[in-house]
Structure 1
């Protein structure tokens, strides 16, 4: 069963999704400052997002929805293609290591 998040009807729907890649990083969290509250008056109402610049970072950044720039389809394709290439290279290295320890036999 897929987890479900309910958003009150009087809130705007978020423009970005969890785990979405953006120009500033990957979205790890989102929270909402309802209009008419002290937090909204102090920081601006609406959705705010927590982003991590890359998966190896220990830094988190917080952005208002209007500050986030989505990736173009070409940028997203390039990022994902680079990850696939990296992992395929890692698989090839591990396969070579397995062959070295099994003396060329992959049957175990």
Structure 2
């Protein structure tokens, strides 16, 4: 079952979602600062996104809708391909460890 997020009436809908890659990095969280609140006065009103510049970063940056740029289709495809290749390398390393542990036998 997919998680559901309800946006209260009167709030703008966000342009981005957690887990989405952007030119600024990976969106890992978001918050809404409603107009007329202390948070809106201090940080600005609207959706504010927590972004990791890359998935191995410990530093989180915060941006508003108008500060984030979407990736092009080609950039998204390249990002996905890089993720696939990284996972394939991890899988190959794990398979090699399994061969070493089992002494080359397949366990049958």
Normalised by the shorter chain, which TM-score bucket?
Answer: 0.7 to 0.9
Please identify runs of 4+ aligned residues in structure 1 that moved more than 3 A: none
Aligned to 2:40: 40
Distance (whole Å) between structure 2 residues aligned to residue 53 and residue 93 of structure 1: 26
Contact 1:98-1:106 within 8 A present in 2 as well: no
RMSD: 1.6
Aligned to 2:52: 52
The normalised TM-score by structure 1 is: 0.88
Distance (whole Å) between structure 1 residues aligned to residue 11 and residue 41 of structure 2: 16
Count of matched residue pairs: 108
Equivalent residues in 2 for 1:55-94, closer than 5 Å: 55-94=55-94
**Deviation, structure 1 residue 75:** 0.7
* SS at structure 2 position matched to 1:71: coil
Structure 2: gaps (5+ residues): none
Distance (whole Å) between structure 2 residues aligned to residue 101 and residue 33 of structure 1: 53
Distance (whole Å) between structure 2 residues aligned to residue 100 and residue 41 of structure 1: 60
**Deviation, structure 1 residue 16:** 0.4
* SS at structure 2 position matched to 1:50: strand
